[in-house]
């Protein structure tokens, strides 16, 4: 049997979004449950793929035949004729992929109008203005989408006609003015490659082809890339052919966009906007600022009641917040589409908790509604309410959050500036789908026109970016690249701040404060923790970071880097003395000074965690990292020598001046004496031979310590074995701090972790130190300190010897940053700066392996390690503390291989908690290739 490419709304399977696209599937579903949907049909995503495979050279014959047959069926159903001047059938042609991509692909409305049918429509409707309004819209939209005429060329003509007829708004133009626009639009198209087609079937086929091609258009490709929409999630777009209904037939007609709940806050109230005597594109494009949906209750009370009923029907049926488009044609309500609403993280979280409380969804469904990475939106700073900031203007709060940046007036400039590292705010009269790359690049979006359901608002909310729309106090001059806001002139490059929660616009950068967790998020994360198998710990080494991580829900510290503590200003000179020591005694003297510092650091952390695990990694990096670099020292030594030479030359200045000009010498004798004295003191304090010699000696030491490849050199456990006194001091600091906290009445669970281990013998060597010091501390403090001894696994050989290492290690933690470097033979800094972006772009590697765990390579090593280690020690505690430990995809893999915990930076703890629950709930779907 021939493949079926077309399904009517009455026969399509509303659950098959991959075949019918999200929009088409929902139109079928709504039709079949009896909602007021105009008749139509769906061309499948398979047809799109067949067209694209055919190299875009016209519709496949079988699809063309099926399309014509479907139109004949639609004529029978509506009682109208496609191209019939007596009773013309008009249709819309709209895209619809399996995953919602609002505004990213093409749409054409009012298809089927031509010079003959427009006359028939006038006779039929007795409304000349209405008919010409439809025709001019079709010519412009078809001309720009299907024929490639620049939209701006139509706008120039349109604005000229509006000016000639003294019309501020489109609806103020007369039928005669609209007829003039139609003719001038037709003349414009005729000057291009091909005239506007008068054959409705030619219009239809070209429109379908345009929608198919838009699947591979730049904005659609950029959108899929930004939101990680892969081919298995959505491949090709469906095309929806729907009978036109008209919101621009007069004051008894309207069009609008609505959400079953507020998409900005999640509040359970009807939210939306509409326009009287308009078509849907007017609302979405933001050309005019629409009215809030609440006013429809006054203007069309019966329609509002029907719309409110539709709202509840849709939400209860789809069990999800819906974003719907509607049209009122001469008092009759039609629903043109519904889809799952795009919302920011706060709204998703609130609606998830609310819908559980309302009995609409389960706790598990609520957790799965909120994607873990969404939580990043909640961790951005908010404007300081105490800041003395002056509000320039206020628009509509279209997408919450605050952002500061330099003004740019077009999407291309935004992208260019962002690539140079600048933070920018995209400022436009209204945005279009083609601006999508500018959205990705910007910190926030500000528009002078459009409402809360405009393109700018919807896309910004889906990205979690702040947006202020409809800020009519802004007058933008794209040519001069400047804007005037409430009398203040701002040019491109000037800094502004926008607050998408209030709609306020500020001049300059407004100070921010840390975010606060909302109650609903705490509830959602409690549900997540009850489901998860993985525990979530944190990487932290200061009391401030530890406090924040505990507040975010970390159950322990999976990585406390001791070297970070060495870098504090008052400690670094002591650390350098320790490194430069010529004898063990000199080194021990420096370490004795460091011991109280380290002990106090650990004590502060133990007090905060009070019984939760604290995994302390002993010194890891090469010790030369605590010293100035070779180049810095050479520059400093040369500078001192030049300065010394200059000072010595200036010391003879008084005698020289006395010879050249005795009178001048005598006049400034006192000053010259002071200068000479000052130079002598400068030389004695800073430029003596011993000072310069000390710097030269330090340079020799740095050169002796410098390694060709330090990341594979003298670091980690190798350093602890070469200079055991360093590890001895750190172990003592950990155990004495723990003992002190026990004596204070607290609880402790210290874990001492050894880095860069490749053999059991290294662990044994350090374990002896721990055993001896533990006994000494127990005797000194008269208390027993419980502790665990373990290792990082970041060396490939350690993976291969995991069975032996587990004979002594009580836990292991994968250091995936170094393990990834070793597995790929990549230097991270060089790879990320030189070739990794190209590898990702060319598809050689799907992800940056330093951000997303490489499950096929590094992951396999981890699986082998766990299998062999747990054969030796069943139930061994295994974790991950590399950066990938906070990435949702990596967490899913960690759950799959039965790890005990993941550890990540404090801000990613909430993300990891939610991701761990997702991993558990979707474990049956996980497949490791």
CA separation (Å) from 381 to 515, 592, 614? 5, 41, 28
Burial 817-839 (b: 16+ CB within 10 A, else e): bbbbbbbbebebeebeeeebeeb
Structure-block tokens of residue 61: 């014959």
**Dihedral angle sign, alpha carbons of residues 627, 633, 636, 642:** positive
Alpha-carbon distance 551 to 612, whole Å? Answer: 13
Alpha-carbon distance 613 to 537, whole Å? Answer: 9
Q: Which residues contact 410 (CB under 8 A, 6 or more apart)?
A: 428, 435, 438, 478
Alpha-carbon distance 128 to 119, whole Å? Answer: 8
Beta bridge partners of 399: 467
CA 548 to chain centroid, in Å, comes to: 22
Structure-block tokens of residue 887: 């990435």
Catalytic residue among 881, 894, 895, 918: 881
Is 881 annotated as catalytic?
A: yes
CB burial class (10 A; 0-12, 13-18, 19+) of residue 450? buried
**Dihedral angle sign, alpha carbons of residues 661, 664, 665, 666:** positive
Q: Which residues contact 337 (CB under 8 A, 6 or more apart)?
A: 23, 26, 27, 94, 324, 325
Least Cα distance to 18 among 238, 167, 214 occurs for 238
Alpha-carbon distance 134 to 90, whole Å? Answer: 10
Least Cα distance to 9 among 77, 333, 31 occurs for 31
Pairing state between β 613-617 and 557-561: parallel
What region does 893 belong to: left with phi over 0, alpha with psi -120 to 50, or beta? alpha
Cβ atoms of 427 and 409 within 8 Å: the answer is: yes
Alpha-carbon distance 264 to 464, whole Å? Answer: 10
Is 242 annotated as catalytic?
A: no
Sheet holding 444-447, edge to edge: 391-394, 504-507, 495-499, 402-408, 424-428, 444-447, 467-469, 396-399
Torsion of CA 139, 140, 144, 148, to 10 degrees: 50
Alpha-carbon distance 377 to 464, whole Å? Answer: 6
Alpha-carbon distance 247 to 331, whole Å? Answer: 9
Alpha-carbon distance 115 to 913, whole Å? Answer: 62
Cβ atoms of 184 and 157 within 8 Å: the answer is: yes
Phi, psi of 538 (to 5 degrees): -135, 155
Catalytic residue among 48, 242, 455, 904: 455
Phi, psi of 692 (to 5 degrees): -65, -40
Beta bridge partners of 557: 538, 614
DSSP for residue 129: H
Alpha-carbon distance 113 to 409, whole Å? Answer: 36
Catalytic residue numbers, as ranges: 455, 881
């Amino acid at each position: 049997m021939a493949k079926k490419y077309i399904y009517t709304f009455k026969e399509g399977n509303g659950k098959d979004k991959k075949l019918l696209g999200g929009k088409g599937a929902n139109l079928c579903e709504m039709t079949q449950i009896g909602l007021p949907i105009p008749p139509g049909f769906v061309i499948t995503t398979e047809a799109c793929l067949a067209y694209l495979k055919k190299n875009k050279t016209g519709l496949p014959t079988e699809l063309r035949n099926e399309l014509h047959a479907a139109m004949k069926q639609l004529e029978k159903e509506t009682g109208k004729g496609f191209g019939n001047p007596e009773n013309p059938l008009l249709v819309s042609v709209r895209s619809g992929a399996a995953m919602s991509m609002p505004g990213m692909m093409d749409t054409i409305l009012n298809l089927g109008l031509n010079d003959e049918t427009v006359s028939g429509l006038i006779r039929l409707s007795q409304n000349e203005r209405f008919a010409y309004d439809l025709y001019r819209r079709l010519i412009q939209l078809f001309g720009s989408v299907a024929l490639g005429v620049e939209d701006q060329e139509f706008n120039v003509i349109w604005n000229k006609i509006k000016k000639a007829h003294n019309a501020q708004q489109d609806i103020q133009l007369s039928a005669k003015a609209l007829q003039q626009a139609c003719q001038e639009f037709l003349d414009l198209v005729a000057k291009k490659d091909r005239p506007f087609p008068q054959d409705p079937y030619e219009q239809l086929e070209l429109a379908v082809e345009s929608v198919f091609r838009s699947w591979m258009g730049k904005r659609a490709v950029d959108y899929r890339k930004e939101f990680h929409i892969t081919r298995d999630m959505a491949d090709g777009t469906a095309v929806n052919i729907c009978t036109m209904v008209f919101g621009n037939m007069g004051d008894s007609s309207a069009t609008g966009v609505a959400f079953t709940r507020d998409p900005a806050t999640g509040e359970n109230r009807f939210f939306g906007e509409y326009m009287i005597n308009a078509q849907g594109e007017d609302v979405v494009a933001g050309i005019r600022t629409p009215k809030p949906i609440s006013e429809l209750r006054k203007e069309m009370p019966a329609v509002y009641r029907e719309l409110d009923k539709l709202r509840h029907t849709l939400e209860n049926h789809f069990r999800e917040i819906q974003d719907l488009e509607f049209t009122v044609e001469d008092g009759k309500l039609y629903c043109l589409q519904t889809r799952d609403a795009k919302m920011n993280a706060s709204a998703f979280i609130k609606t998830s908790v609310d819908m559980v409380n309302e009995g609409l969804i389960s706790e598990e469904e609520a957790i799965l509604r909120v994607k873990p990475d969404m939580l990043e939106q909640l961790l951005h700073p908010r404007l300081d309410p105490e800041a003395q900031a002056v509000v320039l203007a206020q628009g509509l709060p279209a997408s919450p959050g605050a952002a500061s940046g330099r003004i740019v007036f077009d999407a291309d400039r935004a992208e260019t500036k962002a690539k140079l590292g600048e933070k920018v705010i995209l400022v436009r009269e209204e945005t279009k789908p083609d601006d999508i790359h500018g959205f990705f690049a910007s910190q926030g979006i500000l528009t002078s026109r459009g409402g809360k359901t405009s393109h700018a608002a919807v896309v910004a909310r889906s990205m979690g970016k702040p947006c202020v729309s409809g800020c009519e106090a802004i007058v933008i001059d794209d040519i001069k690249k400047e804007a005037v806001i409430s009398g203040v002139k701002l040019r491109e490059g000037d800094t502004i701040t926008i607050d998408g929660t209030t709609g306020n616009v500020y001049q300059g950068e407004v100070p921010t404060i840390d975010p606060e967790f909302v109650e609903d998020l705490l509830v959602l994360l409690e549900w997540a923790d009850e489901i998860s198998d993985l525990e979530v710990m944190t990487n932290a080494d200061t009391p401030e970071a530890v406090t924040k991580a505990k507040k975010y829900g970390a159950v322990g510290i999976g990585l406390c880097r001791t070297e970070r503590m060495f870098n504090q200003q008052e400690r670094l000179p002591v650390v350098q003395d320790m490194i430069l020591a010529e004898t063990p005694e000199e080194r021990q003297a420096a370490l004795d000074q460091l011991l109280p510092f380290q002990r106090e650091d650990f004590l502060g952390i133990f007090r905060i965690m009070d019984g939760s695990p604290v995994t302390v990694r002993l010194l890891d990096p090469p010790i030369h990292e605590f010293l100035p670099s070779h180049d810095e020292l050479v520059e400093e030594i040369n500078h001192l020598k030049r300065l010394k030479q200059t000072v010595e030359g200036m010391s003879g200045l008084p005698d020289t001046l006395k010879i050249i000009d005795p009178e001048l010498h005598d006049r400034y004798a006192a000053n010259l004496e002071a200068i000479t004295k000052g130079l002598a003191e400068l030389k004695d304090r800073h430029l003596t031979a011993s000072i310069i010699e000390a710097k030269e000696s330090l340079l020799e030491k740095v050169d002796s310590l410098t390694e060709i490849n330090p990341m594979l050199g003298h670091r980690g456990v190798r350093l602890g074995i070469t200079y055991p006194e360093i590890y001895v001091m750190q172990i003592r600091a950990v155990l004495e701090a723990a003992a002190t906290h026990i004596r204070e009445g607290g609880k402790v669970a210290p874990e001492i972790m050894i880095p860069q281990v490749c053999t059991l013998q290294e662990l044994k060597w350090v374990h002896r130190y721990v055993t001896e010091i533990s006994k000494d501390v127990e005797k000194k403090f008269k208390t027993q300190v419980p502790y665990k001894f373990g290792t990082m696994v970041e060396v490939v050989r350690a993976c291969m010897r995991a069975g032996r290492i587990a004979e002594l290690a009580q836990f292991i933690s994968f250091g995936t940053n170094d393990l990834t470097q070793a597995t790929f033979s990549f230097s991270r800094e060089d790879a990320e700066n030189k070739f990794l972006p190209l590898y990702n772009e060319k598809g050689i590697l799907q992800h940056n392996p330093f951000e997303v765990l490489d499950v096929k390579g590094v992951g396999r090593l981890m699986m082998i390690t766990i299998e062999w280690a747990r054969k030796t020690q069943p139930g061994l505690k295994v974790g991950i503390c590399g950066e990938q430990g906070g990435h949702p995809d990596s967490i899913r893999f960690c759950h799959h291989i039965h790890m005990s915990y993941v550890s990540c930076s404090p801000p990613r703890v909430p993300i990891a908690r939610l991701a761990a629950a997702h991993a558990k709930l979707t474990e049956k779907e996980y497949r490791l290739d």
